[in-house]
Structure 1
Amino acid sequence: MAPHIASEAIVEHLVDGDSVIKAGSQSSEITFLMQGEVEFVQQDGKRAIYTADSERCAYPLSVRIPHQYDITARGAITILKLERDIVLSISKLPDDSSEMQPGRIELKESGGPEAKLYWELFEATKSGKLQLPSMPSIATRIAKVVNNADTDSNDIARVIQADPTIAARLISVVNSAAYRGRSKINSLPDAITRLGHNVTHNLVISFALHTLFHSSFKALNNKLRSTWQHSCYVAPVCHELGRITPGMSPDRALLIGLVHNIGTLPIINASRGYPELIDNPQLLDQTINNLRHEIGAMVLRKWGFENDFVQAALHADDWMRDPQEKPDYTDLLLIARLHSYVGSPRMEQLPRLDLLPAYHKLALGRLTPRHSLAILQHAKAEIRDLRQLLSNT
Structure 2
Amino acid sequence: MPNPDVSIEQLSRLAPLSRLSEAAHQNLLAASRVDTLDAGKRLPARNRERWVSFVLEGSMQLIRGDDVIETIDPEVDAARLQQPLFADGDDVDYATTLKSTRLLSIARKAVEEAVAAEGDGGAYDVGEQSISTVESDLLERFYKALSDGRMQLPSMPEIAIRIRELAADAETSLNDLAKVIQVDPSLTARLLQAANSAAYRGTRAVGSVREAITRLGLKRTASLAISITMHNVFKARSPQTARQMQMLWETSVEVSATAYIVARHSRVLDPDHALLAGLMHRVGAVPILLFSESLETSGDELKLAIARLSPMVGGVLLKEWGFEHDVVIAVEEGEQWMRNPDLPTDLCDIIIAARLYADLRNDRPLPASSLTEIPAFRKLGLADPESDRSLQVLEDAAEEIASIREFLS
2:371–2:385 CA contact under 8 A, matched in 1: no
Instruction: Quote the offset at 1:173 in angstroms.
Output: 0.7
Distance across 1 between alignment mates of 2:194 and 2:200 = 7
Q: Which residue of 2 aligns with 1:340?
A: 358
1:157 counterpart (169, 175, 178): 178
> Kindly tell me: are residues 252 and 98 of structure 1, through their superposed partners in 2, closer, same or farther at Cα, counting changes over 3 Å?
farther
**Is 1:259 matched up with 2:280?**
yes
**Is 1:148 matched up with 2:175?**
no
1:305 partner letter: F
User: CA offsets per residue over residues 157-182 of structure 1, 9 Å max, x none?
Assistant: 11101101111111111111111112
Instruction: Quote the offset at 1:323 in angstroms.
Output: 5.5
Where 1:316 maps in the other structure, the secondary structure is coil
> Kindly tell me: are residues 218 and 231 of structure 1, through their superposed partners in 2, closer, same or farther at Cα, counting changes over 3 Å?
same
Instruction: Quote the offset at 1:347 in angstroms.
Output: 2.7
Q: Which residue of 2 aligns with 1:270?
A: 291
Q: Which residue of 1 aligns with 2:258?
A: 237
Give the ranges of 4+ consecutive aligned residues of structure 1 lying more than 6 Å apart after TM superposition. Answer: none
**Is 1:355 matched up with 2:379?**
no
Question: CA-atom RMSD, angstroms?
Answer: 3.2
Distance across 1 between alignment mates of 2:385 and 2:236 = 43
Q: Which residue of 1 aligns with 2:143?
A: 118
Instruction: Quote the offset at 1:153 in angstroms.
Output: 1.2
Instruction: Quote the offset at 1:354 in angstroms.
Output: 1.1
Instruction: Quote the offset at 1:156 in angstroms.
Output: 0.7
1:302 counterpart (306, 313, 320): 320
> Kindly tell me: are residues 241 and 302 of structure 1, through their superposed partners in 2, closer, same or farther at Cα, counting changes over 3 Å?
same
Distance across 1 between alignment mates of 2:196 and 2:325 = 31
Distance across 2 between alignment mates of 1:304 and 1:166 = 22
User: CA offsets per residue over residues 246-305 of structure 1, 9 Å max, x none?
Assistant: 231010000000011111111122222212x2xx11110110110011110111111111
| Gapped regions of structure 2 (runs ≥ 5) | 9-18, 24-78, 91-124
2:143 partner letter: Y
Q: Which residue of 1 aligns with 2:28?
A: none
1:100 counterpart (66, 82, 87): 87
User: CA offsets per residue over residues 130-154 of structure 1, 9 Å max, x none?
Assistant: 5221110110111222222222212
> Kindly tell me: are residues 283 and 171 of structure 1, through their superposed partners in 2, closer, same or farther at Cα, counting changes over 3 Å?
same
> Kindly tell me: are residues 218 and 96 of structure 1, through their superposed partners in 2, closer, same or farther at Cα, counting changes over 3 Å?
same
Distance across 1 between alignment mates of 2:154 and 2:84 = 21
Distance across 2 between alignment mates of 1:330 and 1:351 = 21
2:395 counterpart (370, 373, 377): 377
Alignment of 1:83-98 (within 5 A): 95-96=82-83
Indicate the structure (1 or 2) with the bigger Cα radius of gyration. Answer: 1
2:360–2:366 CA contact under 8 A, matched in 1: no
Q: Which residue of 2 aligns with 1:42?
A: none
Where 2:360 maps in the other structure, the secondary structure is coil
> Kindly tell me: are residues 59 and 377 of structure 1, through their superposed partners in 2, closer, same or farther at Cα, counting changes over 3 Å?
farther
Distance across 2 between alignment mates of 1:352 and 1:188 = 45
Distance across 1 between alignment mates of 2:126 and 2:187 = 34
Q: Which residue of 2 aligns with 1:227?
A: 248
1:322 counterpart (335, 340, 343): 340
User: CA offsets per residue over residues 4-60 of structure 1, 9 Å max, x none?
Assistant: 9xxx99xxxxxxxxxxxxxxxxxxxxxxxxxxxxxxxxxxxxxxxxxxxxxxxx999
Q: Which residue of 1 aligns with 2:35?
A: none
**Is 1:217 matched up with 2:238?**
yes
Distance across 2 between alignment mates of 1:138 and 1:306 = 18
Where 1:251 maps in the other structure, the secondary structure is helix
> Kindly tell me: are residues 167 and 302 of structure 1, through their superposed partners in 2, closer, same or farther at Cα, counting changes over 3 Å?
same
2:245–2:286 CA contact under 8 A, matched in 1: yes
Distance across 2 between alignment mates of 1:295 and 1:172 = 32
Instruction: Quote the offset at 1:366 in angstroms.
Output: 8.3
User: Percent of aligned positions with the same letter in both sequences?
Assistant: 33
Q: Which residue of 2 aligns with 1:46?
A: none
Distance across 2 between alignment mates of 1:332 and 1:378 = 18
1:207 counterpart (211, 228, 231): 228
Q: Which residue of 1 aligns with 2:205?
A: 184
1:172 partner letter: Q
> Kindly tell me: are residues 343 and 160 of structure 1, through their superposed partners in 2, closer, same or farther at Cα, counting changes over 3 Å?
closer
Question: Taking structure 2 as the reference length, what is the TM-score of the superposition?
Answer: 0.68
2:371–2:384 CA contact under 8 A, matched in 1: no
Alignment of 1:34-53 (within 5 A): none
Where 2:144 maps in the other structure, the secondary structure is helix
> Kindly tell me: are residues 293 and 106 of structure 1, through their superposed partners in 2, closer, same or farther at Cα, counting changes over 3 Å?
farther
Where 1:346 maps in the other structure, the secondary structure is coil
2:144 partner letter: W
Alignment of 1:273-284 (within 5 A): 273-275=294-296, 277=297, 280-284=298-302
> Kindly tell me: are residues 98 and 192 of structure 1, through their superposed partners in 2, closer, same or farther at Cα, counting changes over 3 Å?
farther
2:138–2:305 CA contact under 8 A, matched in 1: no
- Count of residues in correspondence between the two structures: 306
